[in-house]
Chains A and B, each alone.
Chain A
Amino acid sequence: MPLLEIVDLKASFGSHAVLEDFSMSVDEGAIVSLIGPSGSGKSTLLRVLMGLLPIDRGSVRMNGRVVDYADKAALHALRAEIAIVFQQYNLFQNMTVIDNVMITPTRIRRWPRKDVERHAMQLLTRVGLADRLRAYPDELSGGQQQRVAIARALALKPKILFLDEITAALDPELVGEVLETIRELSSDGITMLIVSHEMGFVRKLSSKVVFMAQGRIVETGTPQQIFDAPLEARTRDFVGKILRH
């Protein structure tokens, strides 16, 4: 049974449909990447799944149970299982690095402080920022902030990690460190749903790649299938364009 299952999802902005007939499943331990041109609805999908945007039609199943986005308690429970890292990192500007990572487990979830502190230290060491615990976000580079955001997401021990174009807002020389962090984490077996433009990264890391355009899925397959032997013309077109450089 897949961890996350999406069936016939439809979402729109006013009269404009941003997601249509969307069906996809994410197995436990899998790394699923969404690729496609801008405006294809990739980031919208993540936001819809997090309950940040409304659904018109269709269903989302987590661990076999249907998610009722209108029910506050269900939404709360869902957000406890999925953690998202944003393109703009969105670190809490008024808190230090360590506080950013610790605040949600301690204040919101009310986990014991000692355990949270230990776990937070582990995570920050993992992402390579153990020496900047007391720094504020505006003292860090974009790459460093994004790594803190990853640690913050993982502090909640989520079942799935959503990564929404996490390197898109970074200077080129900082992209590598963030991708490296994700590569290391993938070896821990965390389930991930990634939206990215970094094709080399997607190709090497993913277990499944989904190509989207205009709110619909065009083709799904392994990285080898999508990048080396695409079936659809549109996929071929897109892959050809991006892999040229």
Chain B
Amino acid sequence: MRIVISLVAVLYVLAAFYGYFWWSDRQEATTQTQVSQAISTAPEKVQTEQLRFPNVQPVEDSSSAMQVQLITQQLNSMQTSFAAQLQQADLKQQAAFKNLQKQIDDLKQQQAQGATPTKTTEPLIADSQPITTNANPPSTEQLLEAQAVNAKQRLKADMSQLDLNLQAEAPDLARQSNLQQKVEDAFNQAELANMIQGRTECGQVFCKLDLQGQAPEGVDVLQTLWEQQVFPEATEVLTVPKSDGSGWVVYVARDGQSLPTIP
């Protein structure tokens, strides 16, 4: 009898524990549902993303079409400026490349001539300075101007060398007289004798013809000399315009020979 009563008591205790745990679980589930509902019903706050491009201004919240148009315009302007910058950089790079190519060619030519190192280094340094040492790369026009200045300096030096060679040689008076006569006849024939005067000096290797004066517009003085067969056949001629525009200096190689090489 006592055993039966004990069993019933144990069953009651178990039922009480089970009821308590069931009630406890139910209370916890109800609280979580209420919290999640409170979160989901909170007003959503949208944060606008900051664009990385500094030039882009925030668009006013008017209409979507207007926004798209403004963004398109801004993108187009950015694309245009970027393309212009690229083109400018490309031009600078091409100018630098041409300058380098010219220096290489000059070096090759001077090497072929066996020029002294002191002569080669000066223009090279002057050429390379605008490219390498300047923090702001010079424009294409500046590079071309620098190259023109260098080329004219080299030409002046080379012409001085040719003149020195001419003075050092014994004059070829027969050839000098012949060429002088041809030049005068050519200018008389072309009716340019009153406008242009020619003075000839001849050495053993080449002649120098100094032309002074201005021809009428449309008349090519040098082509006139070619047409009047002033220059001997199978020869080489170097024509240098005077810097002040007052005429030309023409170097004519002896028949069948070449002029002394100048860069």
Chain A complexes with chain B: no
